[in-house]
Structure 1
Amino acid sequence: MFAARASGLVKLLGLCLTAGVLLAAMVFPFVGGLGLASNRAADEVDKTSGDLAKAELPLVTTIQDMNGEPIAYLYDQYRIPLTAGEISDTMKAAILAIEDKRFYEHRGVDWQGIARAAAKAGVDGGATQGASTLTQQYVKNYMAFVLGADNEQEAWEKATEATVGRKLREARIALQLEQEVSKEDILAGYLNIVPLGNQTYGVGAAAKAYFNTTADKLTVPQAALLAAIANRPSSLNPGASPDKALERRNIVIDKMRENGAFGKDEAEAKTKAEEYKAAPLGVVDNLQLLPKGCVGAGDGPIYGFFCDYLLDYLRAAGITNKQLQRGGLTIKTTLDPKATKAAKQSAEQQVPKTQNGIANVMSVVEPGKDKHKVRALVANRDYGNNAELGQVARPVPAEVLPFGPGSVNKVFTAAAALENGVTGIDKTIDVPNTYTSRAYANGGTPWTIHNAGPYSDKMSLTQALATSPNTGFVILQEKTGLGKVVDMAYRLGMRDTLSSVNRGGEPLKADGSNGPSQGDWTKQANAGSYTLGPGATSVLELANVAATIVSGGTWCPPTPVEKVIDRYGKDIPLKEKPCEQAVTPDLAYSLAQGLSHDVLPNGTAAGAVPPGWNRNMIGKTGTTEEHKSVAFMAATMQYAGAVMTYADGNNPQVICANPIRLCPGSSAGVYGGQVAAPTWFNAMKVIHEGLPAVPLPPAAARYK
């Protein structure tokens, strides 16, 4: 016992001496031989206290649709920042009663408390535990949850390490902070930072989550519970440990009574305290937490694909993950809820989400000369992490898929042929039933192509685009040049599809080990099948190609964002690719006229046109040779869109229609006009409601 007491006295003396040095150092940084080391420490303290004084807390980022309605939230810490006036006096009284009843008497460090803690150290051997003022706790929490938010566990361990050095630094910062910041702001700062469990930080978020109320309306039992679990949210979780939480809450209520929170009349105060302690915890059955990330985006999991694409786009545009998760940004997007819901409903109507092995995805883009706004990204699948329910947590309507669009690629052959004067939209092209190409080798031997059905030997390019004979476009590609066709596809919008993945649709590795790109491989291998569309494809880029055509040949990146605003209301500039004039307006509108017959009675999409549809449009269906994927790319002057239906199982099989299903070995596979085109029309009929019918611009004489 004597040894323990002696040890305690030594520690007490040490702490008192340290406190004296600390105070001296606050005024005279070089006193006592502290010299340069002290000066550096003082600089660090000055910086930290200065940061604390302006404490930029991690905040929730809100993603909004085109109408300003929230669709998703991003955060590391769920926090609702409050001013001192927005926090009830009851909450302040509760936290001070249990954490620092002398808060308004000390200057940041409670020397009386330190002396008591040091004396106690003689018994339990702990020289650095306890005696922290609320200001010091504010400093500690700031170190852990603001400065150290990138790695909270490591930062918390460092901020709470049981060393004299850490305690002294914390105390010195607290002393300096109280010279720069008012008591009320320090108290509010603490109540905004403190972790309160269940992903909530600060009393604003905790009041909402636990009680579905605001911090200015907290009752005594509610405020006491929050004060009880402050800094001990795991062990005092009111959901997992209600008895412990209740016991601690009642201790807080007793401390509030002792502190005079319930009036000076002792009997009356005691009666009130007993009434408050008799109240149940009062936590709501379903915690009112914000849905976090893209999985919970929107009314059900229908906005998740758009959200995922948005985040990838923003990162590429210079917004960091730290800004997204902690910056309190407001992201105003281009998402159209009406278009999204219509497209989602149509995708599921054609291919039910319960249909195993078949995906149906759609992208909708609004054309324009200065921006191509992404209005909808949907699939018959839901966005999510439950693979057993067929959910997918990737932006499949926007990413490059390892499936081909089939004859949609004939659009690029036609565009390149027009640009190079090979033909015109009204000029006839050769369409033999069978054609053997000597330009494109097939394993060293000539390549023979067949049409899928009977065609006239000759027809106009417009008629060929509507009826899609294979031989005619292979011949046209030969005359134009494969390289020019591939380059045209890139210019019109197939940019990631041709430059960012290999021929199998795998993203190119930085070291080039799985290259070349699909575009380079097509040229190097002289792959004449390109015009028949067997290779990997992005549905969003197909939609953007249609948008480029009806925008007079102006290509713009398919953007999901209108603007990004920081927590102070200022716009954050984005590094977006500029729009380009991919082809001349004359060529674009002539191509549009050439694509306008696909919905006429002899066109491949004619059977999908709904009753009452009277809008001028462009369109092109596509079907791959094995019927494992089909597509439809189309646009009016107001909206462009693309749909692809593909076998997305581990072992892709032939897809058949009526009803839609997998049919391995069948020779009667589905066509683009049977499932992809109806998906487009059913969605676009709703999306175009209330809009006038706008004619396509006329073709230029030189391209007729």
Structure 2
Amino acid sequence: MPKNQPMTVRRFFTFVLAYIIFCTAGGVVASGFLLPAVFGLNAAAKSLMPSLEAQGIDFDVTDLPQQSRIYASDGKTVIATFYAQNRIVVPLSEVSDYMQKAVVAREDRRFFEHAGVDIQGVFRAFVETYVKKGDTQGGSSLTQQYVKNVLMSEAEEDDDPIAVYHAQEETVARKMREMLIAVQMEKKYTKAEILQGYLNIAQFGNGIYGVETAAQRFFNKSAKDLNVVESATIAAITKNPTGYDPTSNPKESQEQRNIVLDLMYQQGYITKKQRDEAKATPIASTLHVQSVAAGCQASGDAAYFCDYVTKQILNSSEFGKTQAARDKLLKEGGLEIYSTMDVKANSDAMKAARATIPVDDPTGFEVTIAAIKPGTGEVLGFGINRTYDATQDSGGGTKTAINYAVDEADGGGWGFQVGSTWKPINLAAWMAAGKSINQSLTTSTSYSLSSFPDYTGTGTWNVQNSGGGTTSPESPLLGLIRSHNTTQASMAQIIGLKQIANTAKAMGYHNSPEGQEDIFSSNSFNPPMVIGTVQASPLTMANVYATIAANGVECTPIALKKVVDKDGKQLKVPSANCHQAIDSGIAQTVAYAMNQGVVQSDGEAKTTQLDGGRKTFAKTGTNEDTYMLTGGFVPSVAAYVAVGNAESQVSFNNKTINGVYHSTWYGAYIATPAWKTFMNSYLADTNTPIDNNYGNADAKYTGAATTSSSSSSSSSSSTTGQ
């Protein structure tokens, strides 16, 4: 950057001469200041001024970078704030009269008298700085300061460091340009509009922009409610935003505040009594400091949901053509983002996850919960026994920014192998193929891969139930109730894998790993998928169960209900695309099977029964000895729990978890209690009435039992089961 030259006498006269020329052209210099020689320089002024005109500069206050806020579904609770400059723009009518007068007294006492440039101030500044050799004096009017701030803001938005430098360099050229633009501004805008612009753009503390943000930061109130003491405190800061910040330098801040109070008294804005009482007030007693931490890092237990919301914005073309444009909109666009997060659901999920396995448990197992509202796609909350920390480089551990409840593309991991919680999908596919859930099937422990009608493969698939062997014959209904793997294989051999995969997709299923989301991808489309060897996020599985809970209506999970920009315009948000995915009779019958058989009888999910006799629909699962899972719903909420090591497959066997030892762990020991704790807590906290009318089997799918045999042969193995 160029080195500033010292202010010589020649440069000073050049400065003064140019200044007078500009002011003459603007019609703001009294005739007493005009020298005869100046008139001879009009031609020079005319040739010089066009090159310095304020072209392409936007003084529209609403176009300033403004903070964006994410709200919970109640429309009031702020989850997070994002900003490049922490600013909330307000009209002048929303700024107290004391605050307006404090700024004028501090920055430009002749603001209402001059027309953009304060002649007396400029000459006083020169004398103090260059004649008396005192502290550097700027001599800038409030209008000029507003111009400087706008030029710097636009340069920063354009990521132009050269322009930023030139907007604040201490040179005559910069001052001359500011003067010219200030004179032009005074012709176009009223004093009130200029004061409003300055109050909204100026920096009032370390990372604090605009008077409204300052009022909330230091006093936890709106700018319209600021009193004399508070107004003087804020007005004093802008001379040195870091040095006079009351949170970092209270002693100096109080001294500067008192200077402002003296100025306000001298200019007749306050009485002597007001000044003396205000000066006698310790600054510490007036502060009510609020945190200015930004982003999801400052969102506490809502951080993982906050992260999911930001990913929805950054990954959605509705908010810009490029991710960089979407990021800029989030941090500077002044968005009001209304999310689907239910405060109670998210809180209860976090509590349930941490109560199941504490954050610092030596095993390091993750407990991950996702909850969604059936028939809407609205994601209600997440529970993870981790502390959100986006500063960690490891990407894992007790502090992590990875949201294991969602897909990899949304900031999650590779997902969990879902085990037997997949089996309700098989039952839905079976009925979609026109079959009865009471049909009697011949099962085996060995299936030739070539016997699956739409799968190309050789060899055999050796499969057995969790207790070993098989049960033959057995109906699909009993196969779900008992969570038998061999019956699932027999069903797939009859209706085909494509029927099952297509039904899964219709119900909202996809794989979690990025780039491999399609169930038909080579890593997932194979016979073992019918016993849950696929990898999915808890949110995806919660959504599948929500489809069953909503009479077969599937909705794409959404985190955004409404987004409003700084101009009050409502932006388009990703749609849930709710639609009838499977026949309502199929959904009701699957629900019937999950309740009557899996929960209420001797089914393996009987421990999921919710409090108060509430009709409960659930299914548990395990993946070998590495993942424990439970999914389920009531008509108003569906939730899914996955427990295990999300980074790699680690055995549960012979582990002491949260003080309890088991040589062999099952989902009913750990995932089911987490699911049940969350559901009971949330339903109680929201006073959700009991509705036991759902889950009535459709006679079309429960017809008389028939016998169907399936071929068998043998080799390869899996014991995925309950």
TM-score normalised over the length of structure 1? 0.82
**Larger deviation: 52-61 or 464-473?**
52-61
**Cα distance per residue 1:561-593 (max 9 Å; x no partner):** 322233454432224252333233343333333
Q: Distance in 2 between matches of 1:52 and 1:110?
A: 21
1:242 Cα deviation from its structure 2 partner: 3.4
Query: Which letter does structure 1 place at the counterpart of 2:632?
Result: A
> 2:632 aligned to 631, 634, 659, which one?
634
Residue of structure 2 in register with 1:414 after alignment: 427
8 Å CA contact retained: 1:655, 1:661: no
Q: Secondary structure at the match of 2:429?
A: helix
Give the corresponding residue for 1:379. 384
Contact residue 338 and residue 563 of structure 2 kept, 8 A? yes
Residue matched to 1:16? 20
1:167 aligned counterpart, secondary structure: helix
Contact 1:138 1:193 in 2 (8 A): yes
Counterpart in the other structure of 1:622: 621
1:287 equivalent in structure 2: 289
Aligned residue in 2 for 1:590: 589
Deviation of 1:208 (Å): 3.1
Cα distance in structure 2, aligned partners of 1:655 and 1:565: 51
Deviation at 1:380, TM superposition (A): 2.8
The one-letter code sitting in structure 1 at the alignment partner of 2:356 is Q
Aligned-partner SS, 2:381: strand
C-alpha distance in 2 between matches for 1:614 and 1:651:
35
Counterparts in 2 of 1:601 and 1:165: CA distance versus 1, 3 Å: same
Aligned equivalents of 1:435 and 1:448: distance in 2? Answer: 6
What corresponds to 1:601 in structure 2? 601
Residue in 2 that maps onto 1:643: 641
SS across alignment from 1:225: helix
Partner Cα distance (2:354, 2:380) in 1: 18
Counterpart residue identity of residue 602, structure 1: D
Residue 356 of structure 2, aligned match among 350, 360, 367: 350
**Is residue 338 of structure 1 aligned with residue 344 of structure 2?**
yes
Which of 52, 66, 72 is matched with 1:65 structurally?
72
Q: Does 1:249 align with 2:257?
A: yes
**For the residues of structure 2 that align with 1:600 and 1:657, how far apart are their CA atoms?**
30
Pair 1:562–1:218, CA change in 2 (3 A): closer
Say yes or no: does 1:471 pair with 2:486.
yes
Q: 1:629 Cα deviation (Å)?
A: 0.9
Q: Which residue does 2:542 correspond to in 1?
A: 543
Matched, 1:74 2:81: yes
Structure 1 position 451 matched with structure 2 position 444? no
**Pick from 487, 490, 506: which aligns with 2:502?**
487
Distance in structure 2 (CA, Å) of the matches to 1:147 and 1:479: 67
Question: For 1:52, what is the secondary structure of its paired residue?
Answer: coil
Distance 1:70 1:217, change over 3 A: closer
* Structure 2 match to 1:27: none
Distance in 2, Cα, partners of 1:7 & 1:62: 49
In the alignment, which residue of structure 1 is the partner of 2:442?
430
What are the equivalent positions in structure 2 for 1:50-449 lying under 5 Å apart?
A: 51-76=58-83, 77-117=85-125, 130-145=138-153, 148-149=156-157, 156-262=164-270, 269=272, 276-282=278-284, 287-289=289-291, 292-297=294-299, 301-317=300-316, 318-319=318-319, 320-356=326-362, 357-368=364-375, 371-385=376-390, 390-400=398-408, 401-402=413-414, 403-421=416-434, 423-433=435-445, 437=449, 445-449=459-463
The structure-2 alpha-carbon separation of the partners of 1:142 and 1:621, relative to structure 1 and needing over 3 Å to count, comes to same
Q: Would you say the 8 A contact 1:211–1:282 is kept in 2?
A: no
Deviation at 1:657, TM superposition (A): 7.6
Alpha carbons of 1:344 and 1:19: their partners in 2 closer, same or farther (altered >3 Å)? same
With 169-178 and 54-63 compared, the bigger mean Cα shift is at: 54-63
Determine helix, strand or coil for the equivalent of 2:691. Answer: coil
Contact 2:22 2:45 in 1 (8 A): no
Q: In the TM superposition, what are the counterparts of 1:658-677 in structure 2 within 5 Å?
A: 668-677=663-672
Query: What are the equivalent positions in structure 2 for 1:14-53 lying under 5 Å apart?
Result: 14-17=18-21, 19-20=23-24, 32=43, 42=53, 44-45=54-55, 47-48=56-57, 51-53=58-60
- Tell me how far apart the structure 2 counterparts of residues 443 and 163 of structure 1 sit (CA, whole Å): 78
Alpha-carbon separation, structure 1, partners of 2:563 and 2:8: 61
Q: Give the 3-state SS of the residue equivalent to 1:239 in structure 2.
A: coil
**Distance of aligned partners of 1:20 and 1:359 in 2 relative to their CA distance in 1, 3 Å threshold:** same
SS in 1 for 2:215: helix
Cα separation, 1, equivalents of 2:215 and 2:560: 32
Aligned length: 659
Deviations 1:83-121 (A, max 9, x none): 434434433333223321211111112234344555677
Q: Deviations over 1:309-339 (max 9, x none)?
A: 2222234442333343333333333322333
Whole-angstrom CA distance in 2 between matches of 1:168 and 1:259: 29
Change (3 A) 1:703 1:201: same
Identity of aligned residues (%): 28
Of 536-545 and 67-76, more deviation after overlay is shown by 67-76
Q: C-alpha displacement at 1:223, in angstroms?
A: 2.9
Q: Deviations over 1:598-638 (max 9, x none)?
A: 113321111332564341x443222112x211212222333
Distance apart, 1:405 and its partner CA: 0.8
What residue is the counterpart of 1:511 in the other structure? Answer: none
Mapped contact 1:84–1:188 kept (Cα < 8 A)? yes
| Structure 2 equivalent of residue 266 of structure 1 | none
How far apart are the structure 2 equivalents of 1:660 and 1:234? 47
Give, in angstroms, the shift of residue 431 of structure 1.
Answer: 3.1
Separation of aligned partners in 1, 2:252 and 2:353 = 51
The Cα shift of 1:545 comes to 0.5
Contact 1:655 1:662 in 2 (8 A): no
C-alpha separation between the residues in 2 aligned to 1:690 and 1:382? 33
1:653 alignment partner in structure 2: 651
Aligned to 1:527: 526
SS in 1 for 2:208: coil
Distance across 2 between alignment mates of 1:11 and 1:386: 50
**Aligned residue for 2:477?**
462
Q: Cα distance 1:143–1:344, how it changes in 2: closer, same or farther (>3 A)?
A: same
Please tell me whether the aligned partners of residues 367 and 551 of structure 1 are also in contact (alpha carbons under 8 angstroms).
yes
Aligned equivalents of 1:10, 1:188: Cα separation in 2: 33
Question: How far has the Cα of 1:232 moved from its partner?
Answer: 1.6
Cα separation, 1, equivalents of 2:447 and 2:644: 28
Return the alpha-carbon distance in structure 2 between the equivalents of residues 124 and 12 of structure 1. Answer: 18
State how far apart, in whole Å, the 2-side matches of 1:148 and 1:360 are: 43
Is the deviation greater in 546-555 or in 309-318? 309-318
CA contact (8 A) 2:448 2:459 kept: no
The alignment's C-alpha RMSD in Å is 3.8
- Give the Å deviation of 1:404: 0.8
Q: Work out whether residues 128 and 137 of structure 2, in 8 Å CA contact, stay in contact via their aligned partners in 1.
A: no
> Quick one: structure 1 residues 350 and 216, their matched pair in 2 at CA, closer, same or farther if it must change by over 3 Å?
closer
Normalising by structure 2, what TM-score?
Answer: 0.80
> Given residue 521 of structure 2, which amino acid in structure 1 is its aligned partner?
D
- CA distance 1:38–1:490, shift in 2 (3 Å): farther
One-letter amino acid of the structure 2 residue matched with residue 16 of structure 1: I
Code of the aligned partner of 2:678: A
1:621 aligned partner, one-letter code: T
Report the residue type matching 1:573 in the other structure.
Answer: K
Task: Determine the structure 2 residue equivalent to 1:562.
Answer: 561
Is the CA contact 1:598–1:619 (under 8 Å) kept in the aligned structure 2?
yes
Give the 3 Å change call, closer, same or farther, for CA 187–436 of structure 1 in structure 2.
Answer: same
| Helix, strand or coil at the partner of 1:450 | coil
Q: Secondary structure at the match of 1:633?
A: strand
Moved more, 473-482 or 379-388: 379-388
**Deviation at residue 557 of structure 1 after TM alignment:** 0.8
